Structure 1
Amino acid sequence: MPVKIELNSGEKNKDMPVKIFTDDIDHAAINQLKNIAKLPIIHRHIAAMPDVHMGIGATVGAVIPTHKAIIPAAVGVDIGCGMNALRLSLKASQLPDNLKPVREAIERAVPVGAACHKQVSVRSQACAGLQAGIDQLFERHPTLLKMLKNPQQTWATQMGTLGSGNHFVELCVDDCGDVWVMLHSGSRGIGNAIGRYFIQQAKRDMEGHMHHLPDKDLAYFSEGSDHFAAYVGAVDWAQEYARINRQEMMALVLRAIAPLLPRFEITQEAINCHHNYVQQEHHFGADVFVTRKGAISARAGELGIIPGSMGTRSYIVRGKGSAESFCSCSHGAGRKMSRAKAKQRFSRADLEQQTRGVECRKDKGVIDEIPGAYKDIDQVMAHQSDLVEVVHTLKQLVCVKG
């Protein structure tokens, strides 16, 4: 059943309200949300999705509408991180019994972790179109050059790569027996550098006002300030880079698995949605900047992807256009424990048990991504039934982790 908690709703409280679409939230996340609500730039209220948990800079699962201002740390450093999914013309019954060769083929085709392509991997016209933007960015902000090794090539050699953490490539089957390819990645090292650079610039710009902030990580750029326009241009570039990165990676995955499977075609258009990003939108009578930090757009009729963890279900959903959530929903299950705690709490045997039936790595290097470290995806989905409807339920068959 849907659940909603409201904070700061009293008439005497000057802070903006916070609407939380779950009752599964820790005190640290609540305190972060309260801090964001104190900012004078917030429009109407803040919404927190059912996968909400404490984050760096701002709360993961937060939807933050702002008047003529953007908080770089709320957008974060994995700018444009998001999902891509394709349905294939294959049925689960057509897949080979042994899927390990499929996983290994994906791992050979797509660099994971800190790895990148050995040669510049700019294949499509869309990739080539990014070059002018990055040249201008480096020219205007030479400090960025110092934050990257081989900066002029880094963005290109990392195009079509997965990254680390909770990024993944999966082969899934839906409730109709159809096979899907789904992946999760963002703007890689260049997006990280852009994020870190502008977070520091925001703090410098607000040095004289930092004592007014409830948290120094909530430093923001206001329209007309020295770096506002530069940040908007940089973040737009990084978000486009992330989208194309997923597009290019999907092409690599399909090419890699094709020789190992019966001939197939794509039967549903790709869903390519960000869940760490900012864009201008119209809500409650005003044009505002909406930052979704671990949330996806869920306008009426809009398709999105809500992944679970390595051993649970994922969902293709259709938005209901909820005004209170600023037309948003969760971006996944959401962590319930830190990576360090997960490594302490769980063993390799636990990982093997919780990912039974999934062809994936089962070594200590991915214990921090064990399903037990995440919230119950079924409960997350139940809490947002007012925000989205489920179109397809997916179950992982193969999972390649960053």
Structure 2
Amino acid sequence: MKITGKELMEIGYAEGKALGVALTLLEKEYAGTQQSEQLTILKDVLANPEAYAGHAKLSALAKELLTPVDDTIALLPEGKPYTTYGAEAIEQGAKDQMNVAVKLPVAVAGALMPDAHQGYGLPIGGVLATRNAVIPYGVGVDIGCRMCLTLYDLPVSMLDENKTALKKMLMNNTMFGTATFKYTKDHEIFARKEFEDIRIVKDLKDRAWKQIGSSGGGNHFVEFGEVNITSAINQFNVNPGRYLALLSHSGSRGLGATIAGHYTRIAMDVCKLPQEAKHLAWLDLDTEAGQEYWLAMNLAGDYASACHHQIHERMAVGLRATPLAMIENHHNFAWKEKDADGNEVIVHRKGATPAGKGVLGIIPGSMATPGFIVMGKGVSTSINSASHGAGRLMSRTKAKQSILQGQVDAMLKDAGVELIGAGLDEAPMAYKNIHEVMKSQEELVEVMGTFMPKIVRMCGDKKFQEAD
């Protein structure tokens, strides 16, 4: 009986040209040799191919083994077509990244939201549907980053009349960046079995415990403001009118960032892509690593929600008021959804939010411009998605270099906004015009109301001072 390719793979040969050359050599040059001796010869060549480079019979195999193997996965010559919303305000770098993403062999469909700008792998504002594959950098580093809005049946006049008390409430009940609460509140999420079953997650449990209820740096915030509901939100029995509200924006803290980095490294190791696409390395959901990441990603998303709920619970106690409604939506996540043909796809929304038919969400502007409470229309060309905000107009570096503090102060004063913290990289003029962004996605969402920030806390150096 002849030696099979399976037997050669058992002694260390990999699928590919070298395996075929070895089988051919056995048939042509070693047909009369015992199988045990054949295997010994091939083991020796595999272990030290340089020694056989000049061998009369085995040089061809040695040469093949010495030739570097290119295991790079080729991109498709033509990418899947996708729709861009507000293309005129989107930088070319983001479009280039989307053009690469839709060439992935696992890509099914894509869309680019009007707040899009360049990121790593998938652009911020990019939506990509894949078949049975999840891309850690298609989800993003701040897994499950979300908006959470609580409406109160309290007079909006409190924003002026009780400004000092509301500012103190923000200072006492929110933490940003590396700061954490002295006394941590427990949460049922810490009983989740993922904290025991997944090694990387288990190692992060103590850190997650310390950070729960806090917010990240950068563009994350907690703010009081005025909501103006223009269309009744029936699922919460909220009628048109003006309401005092609390809005928060933050994600999964160190838990999500570490999960993202860990599984991105695994993906890039097992999924070799061309240089321009390397950050789009994916994990097959049929693999152990893919299943692990999926569980860890969902845990991080739920942890982000738990952080928001604790923030809002602390505020409800301070306000001594029962919330009328809580609306939340998240981005930097992957969902299992159905395409038009009923097939399951993995929808990555990096800096984009779900906008399926009837789905409520919040699309914020900047600290000096309104945000919008919206209801999705379920448009298939956007893969049931909408923007996650106004989107950056300037990089953080450019904003710090070109924006003056006096300009920011004047803009905030004109808008009637009190700011606690935040650097120049979060200045309102560093962001796109939210009204133009909303106009570009009128077909994607219906506006149900607006939120205007009035007292804003972010992560920054500015010290809190009591109002006069």
Normalising by the residue count of structure 1, what TM-score does the alignment of the two structures yield?
Answer: 0.87
CA drift of 1:57 comes to: 2.6
Aligned partner of 2:277 among 192, 199, 215: 215
**Structure 2 unpaired stretches of 5+:** 1-75, 229-240, 460-468
Q: Secondary structure at the match of 1:200?
A: helix
- Structure 2 residue aligned with 1:93: 157
Q: Secondary structure at the match of 1:265?
A: coil
Q: Secondary structure at the match of 2:336?
A: strand
Q: Does 1:271 align with 2:327?
A: yes
CA contact (8 A) 2:316 2:323 kept: no
CA contact (8 A) 2:124 2:350 kept: yes
Q: Secondary structure at the match of 1:333?
A: coil
Task: Show CA shifts across 1:264-296 (max 9, x none).
Answer: 33222x112111111100012121000100111
The 5-angstrom pairing of residues 3-402 of structure 1 reads 14-22=78-86, 23-43=88-108, 45-97=109-161, 99-122=163-186, 124=187, 126-130=188-192, 132-138=193-199, 141=200, 145=203, 151-175=204-228, 176-206=241-271, 209-211=272-274, 214-256=276-318, 258=319, 264-268=321-325, 270-285=326-341, 286-356=343-413, 357-361=416-420, 365-402=422-459
CA contact (8 A) 2:356 2:384 kept: yes
Counterpart of 2:270, as a letter, is D
Measured in 1, the distance between the counterparts of 2:132 and 2:210 equals: 35
**Which protein has the bigger helix share?**
2
Measured in 2, the distance between the counterparts of 1:227 and 1:219 equals: 13
Counterpart of 2:220, as a letter, is H
Counterpart of 1:222, as a letter, is D
CA drift of 1:96 comes to: 4.1
Q: Secondary structure at the match of 2:161?
A: coil
Counterpart of 1:229, as a letter, is Q
CA contact (8 A) 1:80 1:242 kept: yes
Measured in 1, the distance between the counterparts of 2:158 and 2:179 equals: 32
Task: Show CA shifts across 1:178-230 (max 9, x none).
Answer: 11111111110111111111111101112xx334x642111111132341111
**Which protein has the bigger strand share?**
1
**Structure 1 unpaired stretches of 5+:** 1-11, 146-150
Counterpart of 2:452, as a letter, is K
Q: Secondary structure at the match of 2:394?
A: coil
Measured in 2, the distance between the counterparts of 1:31 and 1:155 equals: 36
Task: Show CA shifts across 1:315-369 (max 9, x none).
Answer: 100111111111111110000110111011111111111212111136xx52111
Q: Secondary structure at the match of 1:335?
A: coil
CA contact (8 A) 1:120 1:153 kept: no
- Structure 2 residue aligned with 1:5: none
Q: Which of 1 and 2 has higher RCO (CA within 8 Å, sep 6+)?
A: 1
Change (3 A) 1:312 1:95: closer
**Runs of 4+, deviation exceeding 4 Å:** none
CA drift of 1:127 comes to: 3.2
Counterpart of 1:40, as a letter, is P
Measured in 2, the distance between the counterparts of 1:243 and 1:152 equals: 16
Measured in 2, the distance between the counterparts of 1:152 and 1:278 equals: 22
CA contact (8 A) 1:110 1:253 kept: no
Counterpart of 1:32, as a letter, is Q
Q: Secondary structure at the match of 2:97?
A: helix
